[in-house]
Amino acid sequence: MAEKGNLRAALAVFWSFFGVRKRRDYDDDAQSLTQAQIIIAGLIGGVVFVLTLLLVVYLVLQFVK
Amino acid sequence: MSDAAHAHDDHGHHAHPTGIMRWLTTTNHKDIGSLYLWFSLIMLFTAGSMALLIRSELFEPGMQLMHPDFFNQLTTMHGLIMIFGVIMPAFTGFANWQVPLMIGAPDMAFPRMNNWSFWLLPVAGIMLLGSFWLPGGAVAGGWTMYPPLFIQGGVSYDLTILAVHIMGLSSIMGSINIITTILNMRAPGLTLMKMPMFVWTWLITAYLLIATMPVLAGAVTMLLTDRNFGTHFFNAAGGGDPVMFQHIFWFFGHPEVYILILPAFGIVSQIIPTFSRKPLFGYASMVYATASIAILSFTVWAHHMFAVGMPVAAQLFFMFSTMLIAVPTGVKVFNWVATMWKGSLTFETPMLFAIAFVCLFTIGGFSGLVLAMAPVDIQLQDTYYVVAHFHYVLVSGALFSIFAGIYYWLPKWTGHMYNETLGKTHFWLSVIGMNIVFFPMHFLGLAGMPRRIPDYALQFTEFNQIATVGAFIFGFSQLVFLVLVLKTIKGGAKASDQVWEGAQGLEWTVPSPAPYHTFETAPVVK
Ligand code: HEM
Ligand SMILES: [Cu+2]
């Protein structure tokens, strides 16, 4: 249960970074996720976003050199 | 709302002071909202006059009207006042009027703090404007306050730093008030997920303000101690680093530009559904996009600094992150267009401004993407291209949304319909004028004309003259707006409670004009 919730939160945050979410999924999120879960997932999502970009930059520079 | 309801109100409003004391001591969210909006309008004309002086000097190459240092004072003060004195207070004014009305709350959570938040602003405004008359004149180092210029200037620089502190304090208190109100005072049944988009955008903006204002305060405090107490944070000769200021400033500065645009997104998201007679397309994605824009806005700051010299890795990082943040912004534009798609559209003035917002803000978004490319930006940094970019997002973005919101809610606030012919006149003059001023600036920037310069090379003359003519059209057409607002307050056709056929939400259930006290008993939302 808890694990499924965390996955849901991660998914919700992923879609939010893209900016798109189906109304039905959004309503489900709103039902099943707590505010704390979403905030923590959002912060982790921010960190993951930065780390991913750093990785991409690293790979690009490897490729160029 | 009814007299019976008032009877229960033991600190009843009948005892309120009148005249100037009413406004000095008021704790009513509607009074305070009006104060914010009037302050903003006065500052709009003040900073707008400065812009016309700037454009007059730039009508021809060479120096005609003023000393170059005074020109620099004008550009600096124009920027500071437009951002901190016009756009931000106007949005806070909307929040004060509308958030309680839209969530069914009787007032803001902390009414006395609300009063203080407002009255700090005129104090800061007087400090800023008064510095024109001090020795050395007002600050001339640019609104971004970069050292070393900001460390070298005279007493007005200290005053400006204090004014920025005071305005930051006002913003933080306002944000605490707004967050508490939204989280704790919603009408029964009005869950977060049912909140109007304007309330959502302000909730997120308020968090951004609380996160970034202390950063700005830290940056200017370091300037202050560098200036007066012998520290060397930004002084290379003393082991400091002037570029560090830019990092700290833009870590505040980029989220700040979203503070200036998220409430605009909110207003437009109220207006477009009303005049399309359809619910907002993709409400859920709008909420998500707004939240993610807020988080990601902290990861892009160095796109303002590509030209200062950064490792390639850093340039790539900030280039990628900046381009990615445009995705949720773009999604919003699609949502507004999809809301209008197959709707029964009518084109009253609020809708006209909202549509102009969608079109012209998008131009600003595109030029932002151009600037986001590091190799391109190294050419364009500090040219008029940047000036064109941020005026498209701030004038046809933030300011137009403010106009749209005023036309939309003024009937609710005053009880009178505004004059539609005058409104449309104001709209067309503004849109045409605005594009005549700012579109040629793209060409000027691409051709290499630097910003913040009182004189220029001959080949830039024509586009500058066009821009100046546009500036006067735009500037003077704002007098139409002033006349319209005054006329609407004085009289006009009686507005119904609903005001707009397609309008939805709690604010339209109270009478027009909205009584001094509303929702003393909370409405129930199903
Ligand atoms: C699609 C989204 C956007 C992107 C990709 C973007 C990108 C950029 C970039 C790269 C710069 C730096 C240009 C330079 O100095 O060389 C810049 C400057 C600026 N942007 Fe944006 N921007 C976007 C949206 C906005 C919005 C919504 C606002 C405000 C409402 C805004 C306000 C500004 C301001 C005020 C500056 C100039 C600051 C200064 O140097 O005085 N931008 N933008
Ligand atoms: Cu930025």
- Ranges of each domain in chain A: 2-64
Does a structural domain hold residue B518? Answer: no
CATH number, domain containing residue B66: 1.20.210.10
pLDDT band at B3 (very low <50, low <70, confident <90, very high): very low
d(CA B9, CA B312): 65
- Residue B520 included in any domain: no
pLDDT of B10 higher than 60? no
Is B319 in a helix, a strand, or coil?
helix
The tens digit of pLDDT for each residue in B143-175 reads 999 999 999 989 999 999 999 999 999 999 999
pLDDT single digits (tens) B337-350: 999 999 999 999 99
Residue B319 domain-assigned (yes or no): yes
Provide CB contacts within 8 A for B317, sequence distance 6+.
Answer: A53, A54, A57
Count structural domains, chain B. 1
Token output for B492 = 């006009």
Provide ipTM, 2 decimals.
0.83
Residue B382 has pLDDT above 50, yes or no: yes
User: What is the residue whose two structure tokens read 């009006």?
Assistant: B34
Pick from B191, B288, B296: CB nearest A15: B288
Q: How far is CA B51 from CA B47, B55, B475, in A?
A: 6, 6, 9
Nearest CA in chain B to A43: B295
User: Is B522 domain-assigned?
Assistant: no
Domain extent for B133 = 29-509
- pLDDT-based confidence at A19, cuts 50/70/90? low
Tokens, residue B160: 């400006």
**Ligand 1 mean position, distance from CA B368 (Å):** 6
> Is the Cβ of B191 closer than 8 Å to some Cβ of chain A?
yes
- Among the residue ranges B3-7, B411-415, B420-424, the one predicted with the least confidence is B3-7
pLDDT tens for residues B14-32? 567 888 888 999 999 999 9
Contact list in B for residue A18 (CB cut-off 8 A) is 292, 327-328, 331
Q: Is the CB of B261 under 6 A from ligand 1?
A: yes
- Rounded-to-integer distance, Cα B91 and Cα B116, Å: 17
Q: Of the bound ligands, which one is closest to the alpha carbon of residue B300?
A: 2
Q: Say what the pLDDT of residue B293 is.
A: 87
The set of catalytic residues of B is: 78, 107, 143, 170-171, 254, 256, 258, 269, 303-304, 329, 332, 451
The pLDDT value given to residue B133: 95
Report whether the peptide linkage leading into residue B311 is cis, meaning its omega lies within 30 degrees of zero: no
State whether residue A37 sits within 8 Å of chain B by CB.
Answer: no
AA identity, residue B281 = F
